[in-house]
Amino acid sequence: MLLSAPRLRPSEASIPRSPLKRRGRSAADPRTRGSIAAVATVGGLAAGALLEYFLDPKAGRRRRHTARDRMLARMRRGERRALVRARRAESHTVGVARRTINARRRAEEPPDDLTLAQRVESQLFRRAGAPKGQVSVNAEEGVVFLRGVMEREEQIERLGDEARRIAGVRAVENLVHPPGTPAPASRSKLERQRSGE
């Protein structure tokens, strides 16, 4: 027995199927034709109103020029905003790069004596709560000298400990003493060098 393909009628094979038929609507559907006509009518009316607005013999020229000027002004404003944003982004990037480079330089270079003394003074009086007028701070080659009079020994020790924790301080000579007692003697530079400070 020979197998054979089912025969199609010539009318079915030659008619292409419409995509509208698949969805259940035919091309000749009155609702489809009506909606297309409505959209075309509304579009035509809008285009006609727009042309009448801009091609009016009395005010059309002014309207065209006003529309053109507004469009150009909007483009210029957009261009300016884009330039401002670009400049801000560039400045921000340059700032981040410079802060990074300067942070490395500051970390590598030890501060000079005046800067170190000011740093210790500002941080020490904030942290330890020492009275400003009673303690003076000097620095010499990374060694900080604290001089003055304070009431309690615990405060004096805490002041020295806090000064040692500040970045850039190599050593601390705490010459602060209680009232009525003589000030401790400072070590000479040679003694400090021998002890490795």
CATH dotted code for 113-194: 3.30.1340.30
In order along its 197 residues, the chain shows pLDDT tens digits of: 455 555 555 555 455 555 545 555 555 577 788 888 888 888 888 888 888 888 888 888 888 889 899 999 999 999 999 999 999 999 999 999 998 888 776 656 778 889 888 988 888 878 656 667 788 889 988 889 988 888 888 888 888 888 888 888 888 888 888 888 888 877 776 666 666 65
Q: Which whole-number Å values give the CA distances from 194 to 2, 141, 167, 189, in the listed order?
A: 115, 15, 23, 9
Are 143 and 192 in contact, with CB atoms under 8 Å apart? Answer: yes
What is the distance between the alpha carbons of residues 104 and 99, in angstroms, rounded to a whole number? 9
For the entire predicted model, the pTM comes to 0.43
What pLDDT was estimated at residue 95? 92
